[in-house]
Amino acid sequence: MGLPIPNSKLGMWLFLGTEIMFFTAFIGTYIVLYFGSVDATGRSAWPTDTSITHINILAGAINTFVLIFSSYMVVVAHEAMGQRDFKKAYKSLVITFACSCLFLGIKGIEYYGKWSHDILPGRIAETDEEALHKIVRELDGGMNAWVNDLIPGDAPIHIKQGVTSQVETAATELATVNTQLESADRGAREALETRQAQLEALVDNADDVRAWQELNREFNSLRDKVSQNSITLDQAKDVLHHLEGDARFAPAVSAVHHPQPILYGNIFASTYFLMTGFHAIHVIVGMILFALVLKEGDRLNEKWHDWVENSGLYWHFVDLVWIFLFPMIYIIPGI
Amino acid sequence: MHDSHPSPPAGAGHEHDSHHAYAEHAPHVNYLFIFILLCICTILSAVFDLLPSKRVVTVLVLAVAVAKAQFVMRYFMHLKFEGKWKYVLLLPTAILACGLPLALAPDIGLHYYPPAIPQLQYESGARGEGAAHAAEHADEAHPEGEHPDAEATAPAHE
């Protein structure tokens, strides 16, 4: 009675049935969002320009080849297991495992590209106004991090910002504090030492502190213009370009990403990371399945036949999902 | 060509049966040929991307993806050689898989955003006005050169 296949294989196919629905839910949602995200004319405005979305078609194509090759290796391993050629099966599984590592490595490079360009869900400016506010927010963050590095101690940022105004008198005050420290009792010593560290930092980093002050003036001007809505994105880009040209400001300005509004960029990034992320998790699960076989080494035997077959089915499914993700995310242009 | 051996018990007997079952019923497929076909399909996908017509590219690329999926399912996953149980198992999931996009399409795919999208309305200062009104008067309200955001908020692929 029952289906004419082993229980383990039936279990794997039932699991793959749920997996089909899992991924088609994502893919189906992606498709309807793609067509539903329209411009003023009612046409899809889904971001597809690879120079803006930083989608790397070559990386996707290489990963497609890597997964197909690994699928081929799995089926070779399964065949070899059936022919009791365990050495060949083992070698094929090692290659499959290496391919999965390569796939994740390339995916990691792709993710790093997204990270470095801030193509992340919830972080993408979709309009010029959002881009202007993002410039201000990121420059503010960069300046805070910079002043935090320049002035030692645990004081709040606004205190440290205030300390920078004392750069011109720091040397004189430092001499006074050093003198006071010589005769200070234990109670006063701690506060004097904190002050001494701040003043020493001001003296040692005087040029950087002055640069921070200069940048702060530029930043305040830019922030005011943005809040008064009296500057366009192009003008702000010019200001940013000017600041980027001054090497002294690099510690803060490097925190600002290229201000490129991407209409529907956030939902694009959400769906991209959701689909490719869950696929990558499945690749990792596949690697674990293969690692459990590979740890057998020379002891690999026919006991593992069903395991290799079922792991292979799972791996082919992972390949299958990528076969659809590749054209949908990487190739298909806006229509 | 069916895999007709019963559910295997645990232990050495099962290993023996499993091996013999495979030897008797293993499909003879030239997997290397299938792999080469899959590689050719992948190259075709990349080549099709160079075609000028976006609609043609979409159709061709998806057709190639379906062909690749067929190769993987039929030969690598051995569905071609399995019994009719595969329909019992896979048809319901396939129907449900198609059902979701179809169910979402009317509300989300067709009406997820109205043509006058919130982002553009916000940029043009048309918040609070009706969507249709904003769409109709978008050009009027922001003639060329006056509204610098218009170009940046245009669809990325156009």
**pLDDT tens profile A5-63:** 888 999 999 999 999 999 999 998 898 888 888 887 777 888 988 888 888 888 999 99
Cα of A224 vs its chain's centroid, Å: 31
> Which residues lie below 8 Å from residue A297, measured CB to CB, with a gap of 6+?
A90
pLDDT of residue B116: 66
Best of A14, A26, A68 to mutate (most B CBs within 10 Å, chain B): A68
User: In chain A, which residues have their Cβ closer than 8 Å to the Cβ of B104?
Assistant: 28-29, 32
Is residue A174 within 8 Å of A186, Cβ to Cβ? no
pLDDT of residue B117: 67
CB contact under 8 A, A29 and B4: no
Give the residue ranges of chain B where pLDDT is below 50. 1-16, 126-135, 137-158
- The distance of A148 to chain B (nearest Cα, Å) reads 35
Is A278 touching B (CB cutoff 8 A)?
no
Per the structure block, which two tokens stand in for B108?
């989300």
In whole angstroms, give the CA distance from residue B51 to residue B38.
21
**Exposure string over A130-168, b if 16+ CB within 10 A, otherwise e:** bbbbbbbebbbebbbebbeebbeeeeeeeebbebbeebe
Identify the closest residue of chain A to B21 by CA–CA distance: A82
Task: Evaluate whether ipTM surpasses 0.90.
Answer: no
Give the residue ranges of chain A where pLDDT is below 50. 335
In whole angstroms, give the CA distance from residue A57 to residue A62.
9
Q: Which of residues 182-211 of A touch B (CB under 8 A)?
A: none
In whole angstroms, give the CA distance from residue B20 to residue B12.
13
Per the structure block, which two tokens stand in for B10?
């645990």
Burial degree of A207 (CB within 10 A; 0-12, 13-18, 19+): exposed
Tell me how far CA of residue B21 lies from CA of A313, B59, B74, in angstroms. 18, 42, 20
* Rg of chain B, C-alpha, whole Å: 27
Nearest alpha-carbon partner for A2 in B12, B21, B4 = B4
Across the interface, of B101, B108, B115, the residue whose CB is closest to A41 is B115
pLDDT of residue B135: 44
Residue A38 — φ and ψ, nearest 5°? Answer: -110, 165
pLDDT of residue B41: 93
> Which residues lie below 8 Å from residue A215, measured CB to CB, with a gap of 6+?
A143, A243, A248, A249, A252, A253
User: In chain A, which residues have their Cβ closer than 8 Å to the Cβ of B61?
Assistant: 327, 331-332
User: In chain B, which residues have their Cβ closer than 8 Å to the Cβ of A10?
Assistant: 7
Tell me how far CA of residue B123 lies from CA of A113, B35, B153, in angstroms. 29, 51, 9
- The distance of B44 to chain A (nearest Cα, Å) reads 11
Per the structure block, which two tokens stand in for B18?
């499993």
Helix locations, A151-264, DSSP H: 157-163, 170-183, 186-204, 206-227, 233-244, 250-253
Residue A333 — φ and ψ, nearest 5°? Answer: -85, 175
Identify the closest residue of chain B to A71 by CA–CA distance: B76
**Exposure string over A73-93, b if 16+ CB within 10 A, otherwise e:** bbbbbbbbbbeeebeebbebb
Q: Is the whole-model pTM more than 0.95?
A: no
